[in-house]
Amino acid sequence: MMGTMTIFKKELKGFYLSPSFYIIGFLVAVVLSWSYPIQLNLFSQLLANYMFQQNLPQQQLNIHYALFLRHMSYLNLMLIFVVPALTMRLFAEEKKLRTFDLLLTSPVTSSEIVLGKYFAALAAVGGMVLLALLYPMATRTMTQFNWAPLLIAFFGIFLVGAAYAAMDMFCSSLTENALVAYGTSVAFNLSIWFIGAGAELTDSQAARMVFEHISMNTHLGSWAEGTIRTSALVFLFSVIALFCFLAERVVESSRWR
Amino acid sequence: MIEVRDLTKDYGPRRAINMINFTVNKGEVVGFLGPNGAGKSTTMKIITGFMAPTSGVAKIAGFDVFESPLEVKKRIGYLPETPPVYTDMYVRDYLKYVADLKKVPREKIKTQIDMALEKTNLGSVQKRLIQNLSKGYRQRVGIAQALVSDPEVLVLDEPTVGLDPKQVAEIRDLIKVLRGHHTIILSTHILSEVQATCERVIIIHQGRIVAQDRIENLAVQNQGQSRLNIRLRKDVADLKTLLGGIEGVVSANQGASRHDWEVHIRGTDEVVDAISSRVVKEGLGLLELSPHKVDLEDVFLKLTYGQDQAGVQP
Ligand SMILES: Nc1ncnc2c1ncn2[C@@H]1O[C@H](COP(=O)(O)OP(=O)(O)OP(=O)(O)O)[C@@H](O)[C@H]1O
Ligand SMILES: [Mg+2]
């Protein structure tokens, strides 16, 4: 585990001391600073006109549902493109610079290498999620709401980011070209959302149940209400474990060419 | 310390090395010599545990490279063909990272880094980004990286490539200093490098070991043949007949002009003595007579390129 710590610390510094991390963070902030006030404004208008719209669904008046869920959807959309930018260099760069030779001839195991890098990627994704959390927190100065559902929801979106990170790290381990890694990563991230869309395409009751269980859209909705269902946890954690395992296999296999 | 048995590696259908056997004792400095594509780097990559052999065994300090890789890797410092440096790190931070990776005890890290910096003369650039260093300096960072864990075994793949003559001399001196303390195996295609730094040489060609011996032994291996360069004042049509009757003269070939001759002899100083007295007695005006030992270069060329065109003597 010493090896994991060493690699984690190095990669973490690599993220938090590099200008590109802050440029990405800045771009995320720009988009959210534009989208969030618009949503906030819509929501406050809705509340002001509430008297005249008696038949409005109760849900629409819930700040968690009407405002934060939308905010999280934007954040998620950005994570699909931002996480690959963070992780694309994890392995591709090592291969290109030939520093992979150093890692593979050091007394660390392939799983220590993968875990060290994965935890660092999590810390970087966590930074982005915290950045997005600042917006609802600022809203707290204007209005009262419950912390718990908000924090649970953001924990959920962080898990989604963690699943992206695992898949994208795996993509990075396949190539020595960071741009190729970026492209395949985005494709993987998008595919997770399309799997859930299968629910509308199938007639079989059983298949529909399965798809609903892994549909990310359903999960996102329930998180906004402050509930995390085990099916969501199981799905995300299996994606994370699977792709970390696959990345470890790829690293290990490079010894056997 | 290093023990290699029947090592074979195939890249797809292509056999890079074929049944390689050698051992290196503790404290020895061994040169791995061979032309491009001979399989030097491949052998080193297997010894260091970077990749697995197709068949055969490699052992370091008694540990099998693929059964206990961590034990082996702790004991090895490896400089690959391309120095494995992170261009966006500072020299000192990079060495600290490598020391951590190699599990150097925390209390020793600082002294080890200082030692590696000092031995490779990198003290003045330790606070600089590796990105901004010249190729030669990066190579030295690569060497420092191999040294920083103070390993028992050093595996250096072409350590002096890309360095200027002064730095080459410095690295050779460094290797001499390290001798005895570390077991060193280094690869090169430069002969003078092996002669300058190694005690023993392993010559590899097309994936096979064609010779391995101490340097002194290899040089005389060529059946004690040596060469005399003779320069005369007078024109001589045929030196061979003039030297007729002297035991040990193999051939006499004309050099650049009829004043310059190259005489191949077999035997010892008596033959040289006999030739010089004959030349003087004939009154040919001896200007120069320089014995030229058949050196490692001849042996090397004969063993490698010579094999392709069998029978051609150097
Ligand atoms: N990754 C690889 N895939 C396929 N063939 C390879 C690979 N690496 C090396 N080879 C082949 O294996 C043979 C030995 O290569 P190696 O790099 O060990 O030679 P070398 O002695 O280090 O040469 P040089 O002096 O040029 O560094 C060469 O014929 C090379 O083409
Ligand atoms: Mg080589």
B128-170 residue pLDDT tens: 999 999 888 999 999 999 999 999 999 999 998 878 888 888 8
- Global confidence as pTM: 0.84
Residue B306 lies in a domain: no
pLDDT at B312: 37
Residue B307 lies in a domain: no
B31 lines ligand 1 (CB under 6 A): no
pLDDT at A202: 67
pLDDT at A60: 66
Closest residue to atom 22 of ligand 1, CA basis: B41
* B188 and B40 in a common domain: yes
Q: What is the CATH number of the domain that holds B271?
A: 3.30.70.100
Count: domains in chain B: 2
- Does ipTM come in above 0.95? no
Residues with pLDDT less than 50, chain A: none
Residues with pLDDT less than 50, chain B: 309-314
- When CB atoms are compared, the residue of B80, B85, B97 closest to A10 is B97
Residue in A with minimal Cα distance to B47: A105
Residue B305 lies in a domain: no
* B192 and B77 in a common domain: yes
Residue B272 lies in a domain: yes
pLDDT at B237: 81
Closest-CA distance of chain B to residue A114, Å? 14
Residue in B with minimal Cα distance to A108: B70
Residue B17 lies in a domain: yes
Residue B308 lies in a domain: no
* B247 and B103 in a common domain: no
Last residue of one domain, picked from the residues B217, B240, B261? B217
pLDDT at B273: 86
Contact B84 A98 (CB under 8 A): yes
* B256 and B107 in a common domain: no
Closest-CA distance of chain B to residue A254, Å? 7
d(CA A132, CA A153): 12
Spatial contact of B80 and B157, defined as CB atoms under 8 Å apart: yes
* B91 and B21 in a common domain: yes
* B239 and B180 in a common domain: no
* B247 and B202 in a common domain: no
pLDDT at B311: 39
DSSP state of A66: I
Residue B312 lies in a domain: no
> In this structure, how many other beta carbons lie within 10 angstroms of the beta carbon of residue A23?
11
Contact B100 A6 (CB under 8 A): yes
B39 lines ligand 1 (CB under 6 A): yes
In angstroms, what is the span from residue B158 Cα to ligand 2's centroid? 7
Rounded to the nearest 5°, which phi and psi values hold at B243? -90, 5
Contact A105 B52 (CB under 8 A): no
Last residue of one domain, picked from the residues B195, B217, B239? B217
* B165 and B85 in a common domain: yes
Q: What is the CATH number of the domain that holds B44?
A: 3.40.50.300
* B38 and B101 in a common domain: yes
* B190 and B281 in a common domain: no
Q: If you write DSSP's letter for every residue of chain B in order, what string do you get?
A: -EEEEEEEEEETTEEEEEEEEEEE-TT-EEEEE--TTSSHHHHHHHHTTSS--SEEEEEETTEETTTSHHHHHHTEEEE-SS----TTSBHHHHHHHHHHHTT--HHHHHHHHHHHHHHTT-GGGTTSBGGGS-HHHHHHHHHHHHHTT--SEEEEESTTTT--HHHHHHHHHHHHHHBTTBEEEEEES-HHHHHHH-SEEEEEETTEEEEEEEHHHHHHTTTTEEEEEEEESS--S-HHHHTTT-TTEEEEEE-SSTTEEEEEEES-HHHHHHHHHHHHHTT--EEEEEEEE--HHHHHHHHTHHHHTTT---
Closest residue to atom 6 of ligand 1, CA basis: B11
Residues from A contacting B (CB-CB < 8 Å) are 2-3, 6-7, 10, 14, 18, 97-109, 254-257
Residue B301 lies in a domain: no
Last residue of one domain, picked from the residues B196, B217, B238? B217
pLDDT at A235: 86
Closest residue to atom 18 of ligand 1, CA basis: B39
* B264 and B212 in a common domain: no
Contacting residues of A for B70, CB less than 8 Å apart: 107-109
Closest residue to atom 7 of ligand 1, CA basis: B11
Helix axes A205-214, A230-253, angle to 10 degrees: 70
In angstroms, what is the span from residue A99 Cα to ligand 1's centroid? 19
Domain that holds residue B7: 2-217
Selected residue of A100, A101, A110, A112 to mutate for chain B interface (largest B Cβ count, 10 A): A101
* B164 and B108 in a common domain: yes
In angstroms, what is the span from residue B41 Cα to ligand 2's centroid? 4
